[in-house]
């Protein structure tokens, strides 16, 4: 088993490293040929949850525009999509007419086996996989050529924080997989009064309006037309910081969970001015975005991250390089907006990267030298290491003193992979990474599933400067904290204008205490914060956020089959998708949505962030994990109030009884997890192979295939 699991681990880690978004439909039983599918309807519900926003994305698929138009066609829908690396998928639903089924979460091997067998037998399933750190796959079967299939995916999106707002991207890359774009995209927010001023950042014309449903609940909604589907649009709220931090918690028994957002700039003297030369290089063939979209993203990030004491200049690629000015310009909101207005129609559609960089270095040399360069580029002209090395050498020779160069590479089309010194690079990756390294700068690209807006925005954190020897410690006056996870991209470095994001566990009683220290601007600092119990919001989602961070950390640091087994256990326990589990919806599932009301909200918002408590058990259930197993396998059973266990036994493929469990191990209406050591009734260890777990109650009879390795 060790060899098999490690192969699976390596396979998942090496595939889809540069993720993609794609929607295909095809007949899996008659042909390998597929066509681009269509998203007929789409809607999104949003609930801010501190370090994350909870999304409920509802999609309706069809084969419109393909060769399949008949009821006799039996099609499979496959959606591949990217999410940021910190994102967590927490649930999946599938519609059968007016009924809604909630997915079960199983180990990946079992879920895949069930799905593939159903594709041959024509029952209605959907399955959702996590393929890599940021790549996912959803499959649905069957869909007739003249019908639609409707699904919903609930997930937690990581939030970006700045001094004005919190925000995260909208799922436009998923929408753009459609052959024909859905005409409108409805975004709905339940208004609980805790999160102020919801807005679509990047387009002031898109304004949320108040609505009231039949139950009297207030919500806000906005419809985004297909003409405005752009990755530079984000959903945002006013920053909820109070006294420089945000804190929420959840406690169950003697165990507590917390999430923390801390603003270093609120506690440190950050009035020192900086100078930034912003270089923009645009190749229309290497991105789906128009030049104006890139400029709007950059303008917003400059306004959010530069202060009036700072200075800037804009330098654009063209046949002759264009500068906003020959001197530094004060970085007020008005000056930044005016600079972009001048150049809206001037940027070229082709790259002139080498000349652009040379021009930027020349400007910094001629205007004091004490500045940084921010390069926004999607060029791929310098992927060859010999050419790249020569250009780096020439650029370094131009500098009177070393100039930090921070690079945001937004190439999303026509990228190729190159291996140099056994390292894999994407596009201009070799050139960019080495130029950044030699100038003590930074380099980011889209390979981790972030949007163009996110990588451009996060590049500014490097420009604003880091805090050296940073240390943050959390504790309680009467207790302690443990199992902490950083949600920052660089876990071991803090930046002045980047929020410190952390989740962890605690035991004990408040007040909660935060100590952080380090060196900034060559001065040592030490700060202390105390949070009373009344200052902390209470939200059960905090436990799920911690569990998702725990799973992600284990996925990055796998070392044994035990770790893989632990990931599967935590994933199933907390209903968070992992590399080794899947969400599976089945027609005969016991998990039907009992409170989903059609048209509960406008725009068909019938399942606004439905919680697990809204789902009832209509029959008895059994699940096993991990599967395959080596030493022990867990068997989870849940019985309805009017049911009792009649039989739970293990047989081999010949039908011989291997092990029989005591049917009195649990009562009607109860839930229990049993651990079986893989041994027969007489205590002998079973040989590796396939066995059958038979589960019978008055309502249910199921056979589960289990594999011992």
Report how far apart, in Å, the C-alpha atoms of 428 and of each of 434, 551, 627 are.
10, 33, 42
Domain spanning 245-267+466-538, CATH class: mainly beta
Contact criterion met (CB below 8 Å) for 654 and 609 = no
Confidence of residue 608 (pLDDT cuts 50, 70, 90): very low
Half-sphere exposure in the Cβ direction for 50 (13 Å, CA): 28
Domain ranges for the chain? 2-238+550-607, 245-267+466-538, 275-461, 619-708
pLDDT at 8: 40
Q: What percent of the chain has pLDDT over 70?
A: 89
pLDDT of 602 strictly over 70: no
Mean pLDDT of 223-228: 93
Mean pLDDT of 254-266: 92
pLDDT at 270: 64
Looking at domain 275-461, its CATH architecture is 3-Layer(aba) Sandwich (3.40)
Domain spanning 619-708, CATH class: mainly beta
Exposed (0-12), middle (13-18) or buried (19+): which is 249, by Cβ within 10 Å? buried
- Cβ of 649: how many Cβ atoms within 10 Å? 16
pLDDT at 619: 65
pLDDT of 612 strictly over 60: no
Residue among 704, 586, 589 at smallest CA distance from 648: 704
Convert 514-537 to b/e letters by CB count within 10 Å (16 or more is b): bebebebeeeebebebebeeeebe
pLDDT at 419: 84
pLDDT at 588: 53
CA distance linking residue 330 with residue 484, whole number of Å: 41
pLDDT of 610 strictly over 80: no
pLDDT tens column, 100-127: 888 989 888 888 887 877 666 555 689 9
Exposed (0-12), middle (13-18) or buried (19+): which is 140, by Cβ within 10 Å? buried
pLDDT tens column, 6-26: 334 333 433 334 457 999 999
pLDDT of 494 strictly over 90: no
pLDDT at 491: 66
pLDDT tens column, 510-521: 999 999 998 887
pLDDT at 260: 96
pLDDT at 598: 38
Of the listed ranges 71-75, 289-293, 324-328, the least confidently predicted one is: 71-75
Confidence of residue 96 (pLDDT cuts 50, 70, 90): confident
CA distance linking residue 298 with residue 279, whole number of Å: 11
Confidence of residue 617 (pLDDT cuts 50, 70, 90): very low
Name the pTM for this structure: 0.73
pLDDT of 466 strictly over 70: yes
Domains 245-267+466-538 and 619-708 equal at CATH topology level = yes
Of the listed ranges 27-36, 233-242, 432-441, the least confidently predicted one is: 27-36
Confidence of residue 614 (pLDDT cuts 50, 70, 90): very low
pLDDT at 267: 87
Helix (H, G, I), strand (E, B) or coil at 472: strand
Mean pLDDT of 386-396: 95
| Helix, strand, coil percentages in the chain from 3-state DSSP, rounded to 5 | 20, 40, 40
pLDDT tens column, 624-637: 888 778 888 988 88
Name which residue leads in pLDDT, 71 or 397. 397
pLDDT of 455 strictly over 80: yes
* Report for 113-117, 323-327, 424-428, 691-695: range of highest mean pLDDT: 323-327
pLDDT of 342 strictly over 80: no
pLDDT at 13: 38
Name which residue leads in pLDDT, 645 or 190. 645
pLDDT tens column, 522-541: 889 999 999 999 888 899 99
pLDDT of 368 strictly over 70: yes
Mean pLDDT of 318-345: 88
Name the CATH superfamily, with its identifier, for domain 2-238+550-607. Answer: tricorn interacting facor f3 domain (2.60.40.1730)
pLDDT at 220: 92
Judging by DSSP bridges, how do beta strands 275-280 and 311-316 pair with one another? parallel
Contact criterion met (CB below 8 Å) for 197 and 417 = no
pLDDT at 271: 62
Contact criterion met (CB below 8 Å) for 51 and 25 = no
Contact criterion met (CB below 8 Å) for 314 and 336 = no
């Amino acid at each position: 088993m060790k060899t098999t699991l490690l192969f699976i681990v390596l396979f998942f880690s090496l595939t889809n490293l540069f993720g993609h978004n794609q929607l295909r439909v095809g007949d899996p039983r008659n042909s390998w040929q597929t066509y681009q599918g269509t998203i007929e309807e789409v809607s999104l519900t949003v609930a801010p949850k501190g370090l994350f926003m909870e999304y409920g994305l509802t999609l309706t698929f069809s084969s419109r525009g393909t060769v399949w138009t008949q009821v006799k066609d039996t099609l499979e829908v496959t959606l591949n999509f990217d999410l940021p690396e910190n994102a967590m998928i927490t649930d999946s639903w599938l519609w059968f007419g007016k009924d809604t089924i909630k997915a079960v979460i199983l180990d990946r091997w079992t879920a895949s086996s069930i799905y593939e067998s159903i594709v041959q037998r024509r029952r209605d399933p959907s399955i959702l996989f996590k393929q890599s750190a940021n790549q996912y796959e959803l499959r649905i079967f069957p869909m007739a050529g003249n019908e639609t299939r409707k699904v919903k995916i609930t997930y937690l999106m990581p939030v970006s924080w700045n001094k004005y707002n919190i925000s995260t991207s909208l799922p436009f890359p998923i929408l753009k997989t459609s052959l024909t774009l859905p005409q409108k995209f409805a975004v709905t927010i339940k208004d609980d009064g805790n999160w102020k001023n919801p807005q679509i950042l990047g387009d002031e014309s898109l304004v949320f309006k108040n609505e009231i449903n039949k139950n009297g609940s207030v919500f806000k909604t906005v419809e985004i037309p297909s003409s405005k589907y752009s990755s530079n649009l984000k959903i945002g709220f006013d920053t909820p910081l109070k006294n420089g931090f945000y804190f929420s918690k959840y406690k169950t028994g003697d165990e507590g969970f917390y999430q923390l957002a801390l603003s270093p700039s609120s506690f440190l003297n950050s009035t020192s001015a900086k100078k930034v030369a912003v270089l923009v290089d645009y190749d229309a063939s290497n991105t789906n975005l128009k030049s104006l979209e890139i400029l709007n993203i950059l303008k917003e990030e400059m306004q959010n991250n530069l202060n009036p004491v700072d200075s800037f200049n804009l330098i654009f690629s063209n046949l002759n390089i264009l500068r906003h000015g020959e001197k530094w310009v004060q970085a007020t909101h008005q000056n930044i907006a005016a600079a972009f207005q001048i150049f809206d129609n001037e940027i070229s559609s082709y790259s002139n990267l080498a000349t652009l960089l040379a021009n930027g270095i020349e400007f910094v040399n001629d205007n004091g030298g004490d500045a940084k360069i921010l390069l926004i580029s999607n060029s791929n002209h310098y992927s060859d290491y010999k050419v790249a090395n020569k250009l780096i050498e020439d650029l370094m020779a131009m500098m009177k003193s070393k100039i930090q160069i921070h690079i945001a590479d937004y190439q999303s089309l026509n990228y190729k992979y190159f291996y140099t010194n056994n390292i894999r690079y994407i596009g201009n990756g070799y050139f960019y990474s080495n130029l950044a390294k030699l100038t003590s700068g930074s380099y980011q690209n889209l390979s981790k599933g972030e949007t163009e807006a996110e990588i451009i925005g996060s590049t500014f954190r490097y420009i604003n400067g880091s805090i050296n020897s940073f240390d943050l410690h959390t504790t309680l006056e009467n207790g302690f904290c443990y199992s902490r996870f950083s949600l920052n991209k660089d876990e071991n470095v803090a930046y002045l204008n980047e929020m410190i994001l952390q989740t962890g566990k605690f035991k004990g009683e408040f007040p909660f205490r935060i100590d952080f220290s380090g060196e900034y601007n060559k001065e040592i600092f030490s700060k202390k914060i105390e949070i009373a119990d009344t200052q902390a919001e209470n939200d059960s989602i905090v436990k799920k956020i911690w569990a998702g961070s725990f799973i992600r950390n284990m996925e990055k640091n796998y070392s044994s089959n035990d770790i893989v087994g632990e990931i599967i256990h935590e994933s199933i326990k907390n209903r968070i998708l992992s590399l080794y589990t899947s969400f599976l919806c089945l027609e005969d599932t016991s998990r039907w949505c009992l409170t989903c009301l059609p048209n509960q909200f406008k725009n068909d918002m019938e399942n606004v962030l439905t919680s697990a408590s809204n789902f009832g058990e209509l029959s008895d259930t059994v699940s096993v994990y991990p599967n395959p197993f080596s030493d022990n396998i867990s068997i989870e059973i849940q019985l309805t109030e009017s049911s009792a266990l009649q039989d739970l036994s293990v047989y081999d493929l010949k039908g011989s009884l291997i092990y029989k469990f005591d049917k009195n191990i649990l009562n009607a209406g109860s839930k229990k997890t049993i651990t079986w050591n893989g041994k027969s009734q007489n205590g002998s260890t079973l040989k590796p192979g396939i066995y059958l777990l038979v589960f019978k109650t008055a309502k249910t009879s199921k056979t589960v295939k289990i594999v011992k390795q």
